[in-house]
Amino acid sequence: MNNLCILEAGFINPALKNKYPSYAKLFSEFLTTNSRKWKVSSFKIYNNEFPKNIQVYDSFIITGSSFGVYENHNWIIQTLKLVNKIISYKKQLVGICFGHQLIIQALNGLVEKYSEGWSTGINPVKFNIQKPWLPKFCEQLKLISFHQDQVIKVPNFVEHLAETNFCKYYALSVDDYIFTIQGHPEFSNTYALDLLEIKRESIGEKQYFKSKKILEKQNHQGYLFSEIIANFLEKKF
C-alpha cells in the first residue's frame, strides 16, 4: 500500500468553491486512490501546514498554485527546504505546475514569469526521452495547460523529458524518483473553462477566445497520466 502525502500549494478559486473540491480531493479522485487502497494525507502548505515526519510517507505530490515560486512568502521558503529534505531521502516526488517549478527551483534551476504571456487551453506535448514509467505511446499527448510562469533553466543532472511550442521545460525528471510536469493532467475541460472565465481579464481576449474554442471542442489526455503518475508513485516500473 502506498502512503501518499499531498502538499497543497494552492486552493480552489473562491468563485468555484461550491462546484469543485479541494486540490487534495481533486488529486485523490484523479489518481483513484480509494480503489488503489492508498493511504492519503494532505497538508495546506500555503497555510503553513507541514508534515512533521516525512519518513512515514512513501511518496509526495506538490500541487499547482496561483502563487509564484519566486515570491518571498515564508511558506514557500519552508517548502523549498522540505523539498530538499524529501529529495535527500529519495522519496517518490511528483510536481504539477507550481509543484513542477518549485522542485526545479529547489534544485537550483530558474523560474520566471514568461514574457510571452499565458499558456492556456490544450497543448500538444512532445516527449523527447523514454522513461520506464512512460508508455511507448507517450511520444505526443494533448494536455491542459494553465500558466504564465515557467522553468527557464535547469541543472545538468535534470532530464528534459518533454516540451511544447510555448514551454521548453514542460516535463522533467531526476533518475527514477522525481517527475515533474508543467501541465494539469488532473484538470477536466469543464474546470479549465470555468477557470478561464475567472482569469479572462488577466489572460486577454485573444488568448481567452482561442483557448475557449479549443477546450469546448477537444478533450485532453490527462486520464492517461492518472496511471502513469500512480505507477511512478508506487515505483511500478
**What confidence tier does 17 reach under pLDDT thresholds 50, 70, 90?**
confident
Show me where the domains of the chain are located.
Answer: 3-233
89: helix, strand or coil = coil
Q: Is the pLDDT reported for residue 128 higher than 90?
A: no
Task: Look at residue 222 in the predicted model and tell me its pLDDT.
Answer: 87
Q: Is the pLDDT reported for residue 129 higher than 70?
A: yes
pLDDT in tens, 134-186: 876 666 789 999 999 999 999 999 999 999 989 999 999 999 999 999 999 99
Q: Is the pLDDT reported for residue 65 higher than 70?
A: yes
Q: How far apart are CA 150 and CA 112, in angstroms?
A: 6
**What confidence tier does 33 reach under pLDDT thresholds 50, 70, 90?**
confident
Q: How far apart are CA 131 and CA 136, in angstroms?
A: 9
115: helix, strand or coil = coil
Is 140 exposed, middle or buried, given 0-12, 13-18 or 19+ CB atoms closer than 10 A? Answer: exposed
- Hey, which bits of 136-230 come out as E strands? 140-147, 149-153, 159-163, 171-174, 178-181
Answer CATH for 3-233 from 3.40.50.720, 3.40.50.300, 3.40.50.880, 3.40.605.10: 3.40.50.880
Contact status, residue 181 vs residue 222, Cβ threshold 8 Å: no
